[in-house]
Amino acid sequence: MADTIFVLNGPNLNLLGTREPEIYGSDTLDDIAGQLEDRGRELGLTIDMRQSNHEGHLVDWLQEAQARGAKAVLLNAGAFTHTSLAVYDAIKSIKTPVIEVHLSNPLTREEFRHESYVGRAARGTIAGFGALSYMLALEAAARI
């Protein structure tokens, strides 16, 4: 599993492509998965892409990434970014590096989005570049 990158996506990201495309772009989560898988193959990495609208799934998957020896986790926790101490604790509880990913730049949006529990625990954050944010995070994960 050392060559596996977990890509974990939180609530409402299953609606990408149709949900507020002026903010999140027109790429679907499947489009992003395909781009990551293509680039991952070039880098010798396997992508394990998952999405859930449930906070506990993200916690379980973070722990699984550690247990399975994943190289890194790319995490777009969606709204849980700003609210979840459980996700924060899960990141702090594992040694696997976590890179926070956002399609939009939360700091240019509503005030409540400026606080990131995920960012406080993550190795780094890439935000504001649409689907490219995931690709930039993958490049970073490959070099960790």
Instruction: Cite the active site residues.
Output: 24, 102
What SS3 string covers the chain? CCCEEEEEECCCHHHCCCCCHHHHCCCCHHHHHHHHHHHHHHHCCEEEEEECCCHHHHHHHHHHHHHCCCCEEEEECHHHHHCCHHHHHHHHHCCCCEEEEECCCHHHCCHHHHCCHHHHHCCEEEECCCCHHHHHHHHHHHHC
